[in-house]
Amino acid sequence: MTDASTGDPNLLKFLAIGRLAKGSSGGAVLARNVGGTEEEKKQTLGKHQVLAYAAASKDERTKIFKKHVKELMSKGASRLTGGKRVRLLSDEAEDGGGEDPSGRYELHVLTEYIDGDPNYALVFFAITSLDFTKHQGIATLFKDLKAGVYDQFDSETLMTTQSSGPMHGHLRRFFEQLFTKYNKQLLTQVSRKVEEVKEVMKDNVNKALNNVEQLEEMEVKAERMEDQAKLFERRSGSVLWLMRCRYIKITLILGLVVAAILAYIIYYIYSKTHSDDDPASPPVDPAPPAPEPTPSPTPAAVIRPVLQAMAGVPIPRPAKKMLQMLRTQLDART
């Protein structure tokens, strides 16, 4: 997540710790640890001070963040109550003119009394982006911040240290650890999401490539089927032509056979009729008996074996009807 106006990818931008001094209670204890005259001691202990601070990115925004924290320490100290957490939203413009170069951000403030003394309170500041609470917990951040401060410094040190004291240098490294922890987790989450998106994109690309390969295979198969269909069409035309030629050939053969049979029958009937109509020849001397001639075969005797042989041959229907009529006539004559 990046700041829209500055390009800052950090969720946690600035951390600071301040001390509020609202009275002189406990002054005797504090006086032993603060140098200078009594008046100087009172003035020093009575000031609100920013004890330590650090920014995730060192740029011009660091001054702006520190300025806002100091303004809140000086002008808003009366509204800071121990044990309560305050959340403030920055304005879009500063001092009524121009855009705020830091962009909009949230300022979280947690106040805690030191050793229960309401006159001295430790104030924890955390400046975050507007999206911090979507990814991290502000309560967890303050818990880690308080634990690190109380582990390194006791109550007396917290009540007596100054803004120019060693606390600022000691806490700088601890602040950097918090910046790394709370900003790195976001980068890890973003990286994880990026990896998930990359995996999804890879799957989509692989599916698209598989679809392209399948389409290419389908095109090749379609071309093969088209070639096979054309070949089948050519072969079926050849087969059809051969069947037609065979049909015509069989029809012609049968026609010739039937014509030959009819011609033979006509010739037989004609010769039989003319032999019966011849006048009687004059008597002649009896000659010695000649051997009896062998009788000529009748048409039925000639045609019947032919019809029997053609009974199992596949022939066209008109020729089959003609042969059936011829067989019927032969059966009637015999």
pTM: 0.49
Q: What pLDDT does residue 225 have?
A: 92
pLDDT digits (tens, 9 = 90+) for 291-334: 655 555 555 666 666 666 666 656 666 666 766 777 776 666 66
Q: Residue 164: what pLDDT?
A: 62
**Domain range list for the chain:** 12-186, 225-268+297-333
**pLDDT at residue number 299:** 59
Alpha-carbon torsion (51, 18, 150, 125), positive or negative: negative
pLDDT of residue 303: 65
What are 214-235's pLDDT values in tens digits?
888 898 999 999 999 999 988 8
Among 130, 114, 128, smallest CA distance to 82 is for: 114
Interval 160-215: pLDDT, tens? 777 766 777 788 888 888 888 888 766 666 777 888 898 899 889 988 888 888 88
- Residue 53's Cβ-side half-sphere holds a number of Cα atoms within 13 Å equal to 27
Q: Using the predicted structure, report yes or no on whether residue 151 has a pLDDT greater than 80.
A: yes
Q: pLDDT confidence of 90, banded at 50, 70, 90?
A: confident
The mean pLDDT value for 81-93 works out to 78
For the ranges 67-71, 105-109, 267-271, which has the lowest average pLDDT?
A: 267-271
- Which pLDDT score is estimated for 108? 92
The phi, psi pair for 113, rounded to 5°, reads -70, 140
Checking if the pLDDT of 100 tops 80, the result is no
Only one residue has tokens 């005259």, namely 37
The predicted-structure confidence for 26-63, as pLDDT tens digits, reads as follows 333 333 344 444 444 444 444 678 888 888 888 788 88
pLDDT score for 260: 87
Q: What is the spatial distance between Cα 161 and Cα 220, in angstroms, rounded to a whole number?
A: 84
CATH 3.30.450.50 fits 12-186, yes or no: yes
DSSP three-state, residue 45: helix
Q: What pLDDT score was predicted for residue 287? A: 56
